[in-house]
Amino acid sequence: MNDLSRPLPSDDGACADAATPEMTMPVDAAGVAVVPAVMSMVDAGAAPVPITPAPANVAPFAASTAITAITTADPLEASIAAATDALLAAQKPDGHWVYELEADATIPAEYVLLVHYLGETADLELERKIARYLRRIQLPGGGWPLFTDGAMDVSASVKAYFALKMIGDPVDADHMVRARDAILAAGGAEASNVFTRILLALFGVVSWYAVPMMPVEIMLLPAWFPFHLSKVSYWARTVIVPLLVLNAKRPRARNPRGVRIDELFRGAPVTVGVPRRAPHQSKGWFSFFRAVDGVLRFVDPLFPAYLRQRAIDAAVAFVDERLNGEDGLGAIFPAMANSVMMYDVLGYPADHPHRAIARQSLDRLLVIHDDEAYCQPCVSPVWDTSLAAHALLETGDARAEAAARRGLDWLRPLQILDVRGDWISRRPDVRPGGWAFQYANPHYPDVDDTAVVAMAMHRADVLDQSGTYGDAIARAREWVVGMQSSDGGWGAFEPENTQYYLNNIPFSDHGALLDPPTADVSGRCLSMLAQIGELPGASEPARRAYDYLLDEQEADGSWYGRWGMNYIYGTWSALCALNAAGLSHADPRMKRAAQWLVAIQNEDGGWGEDGTSYKLDYRGYEPAPSTASQTAWALLGLMAAGAVDLPAVARGISYLHATQREHGLWDEERFTATGFPRVFYLRYHGYRKFFPLWALARYRNLKRAGTNRVTVGM
């Protein structure tokens, strides 16, 4: 039911705030606006100007807009110009951008171990480079973390140690001794998670009894069954299906060097039992599913051979259909690696087209530098290109706008219009129209990417009044609206993916089987709808999204960030959406969010947050060092809330100006993105390049235009 106490934004601007006069702001020596504390809109409650979206024929912040410079020799302009030049220089000849996407030690370690599992001839130089990478990211205490400066993670540490030993690092080397001691102190390899146990079982280190039962006959279950593959997320589905075949066949790694890691166990590896209940799992549900696991172990040998073969055939057919060429199954490393091992255990020769292309897809994820190398979990060209386009369009620079259009022209043919992906299980009547995250992943388009691409295309069309991308935007809008869940929100890849009980099965100790609606993705979708003119007052999908987003606000004013760290990311996403949808800047919910962002600003003027913010007993903001990308998110969020004149915003701009490097960009070693909360984190190398530019350009545009109203969706 709609909350009728909420303001209902509409095209007629009925809920717009009363405008307040703009004030001339002094500037400091760096050309950054200096705002006295008494002028804080959050503290003083000043009413900002209306925030209804600009008409479709108005180009917000276009290069031709008449604006007055803040200073005659403006360092802010110099910062924007330098960052713009650097971003333009990184554009590929065909128009797109793609930056490295780095995870923790597990992916490069698994790549090394896969080569030896298959018995391939190892590339010794590549292994030496991966070893240098793994040694560099090791913690002083001996283990490996999931994110920069994070706590040691047992599973990541076991895999990193195993890979280094496989490469040839002596077990008595200092870094290996420290790693071994750290792992044993944390409970030993017995404390590893399910995916690490599967790896160890494949290498014969532990028995398959240490791995939860996942019978391949799952492939034959009807859709109504409580555990059906349509009820889990796309990433879980693509990882699990080939894994079911491995679980049925239980192969042994070739491991020509004969490396084992028994020394990492407190007891005999063969005695390792079933996994314990994870902290997120309910005692009742877990006990039930543990009992089911026991029954499955008992009846597994009784399954008829013909039924097992039929299930294996179904799994192979699933993988074959979604193999996705050189981009790989699901276009994510774990699924791609499992598909190679599946083909291998089924006897496919190395030169079989399916096995060969699956194996080739993994090598495309390698990042090889002069001295180090690592393997990415996936690649992010659509995401990088669309976000880079937004940042460049914000600058108003003619060269930047032209480059953004080249990027959008590259994106246009990647729109998925003819493949009805796995999402049709719940939306059979919806036409395709989304974009994937990667170069190609047609069965799994991404709602978040699609909304961001559509908004960038719309901005470009508004600037030149061309309507070039109108058809693409319309199909994107149709698909995004079709993917909306019943609660008004959106997941990233699946609608209605909310079977939360499944996170209690023994296999799901990671707690990441599902893709439920989240505030950050939902905010982006509402932003898209509002930017193209669908406001909550006249659009039922926008109204439902608006209600969902307001319901998701935390008591402290922030929003949870599922795909970026964390509440800073979620709050930026939500504030952009609510501003675009017409929520008054003076609304208490908008002000509370702005107050939260101001309250968590670091002393250096920046903002930061890390993976500790995802802990189950979260009690409030977890301080972390400032980063350029998170500072940009906070600034963009505050500006969306109408708070461009806050002292906190000026300090944040100063932070970005002060930390910009000679090459025009920013350095950022810390992880600021999320794969799976508490389990897997990401470092997008592009985030430090386009987000700070975006924030600087928006600040300049708002100050020069003498307004505090952002007129685009994000």
What residues are labeled active site?
Answer: 448
Go through 152-166 and write b for each residue having 16 or more CB atoms within 10 A of its CB, e for each that does not: bbbbbbbbbbbbbbb
Residue 661 token pair: 């490097």
- The C-alpha angle with vertex 179 and arms to 178 and 183, in degrees rounded to 5, equals 120
Which bin fits 324, alpha (ψ -120 to 50), beta or left (φ > 0)?
left
Describe the strand order of the beta sheet including 680-684 as a list of residue ranges: 101-102, 680-684, 673-676
Residue 101 pairs in a beta bridge with 684
Two tokens at 597?
């962002």
CA distance 699 to 693: 10
Question: Are 272 and 192 contacting, i.e. CB atoms less than 8 angstroms apart?
Answer: no
- Residues 553 and 700: their CA atoms lie apart, in Å, by 29
**DSSP-assigned letters across all residues of 72-109:** SS-HHHHHHHHHHHHHHHT--TTS-----EE--THHHH
Torsion angles phi and psi, residue 424, rounded to 5 = -70, -15
CA dist., res. 217 & res. 294, Å (int):
16
Q: What is the DSSP string of 536-557?
A: TTT-HHHHHHHHHHHHT--TTS
Question: CA 698, CA 637: separation in Å to the nearest integer?
Answer: 11
User: Measured between alpha carbons, how far is 164 from 201 in angstroms, rounded to an integer?
Assistant: 19
The H or E element containing residue 682 is: strand 680-684
Q: Provide the CB-side half-sphere exposure for 325 (13 A, CA).
A: 6
Contacts of 617 (CB under 8 A, 6+ apart): none
DSSP label at residue 443: T
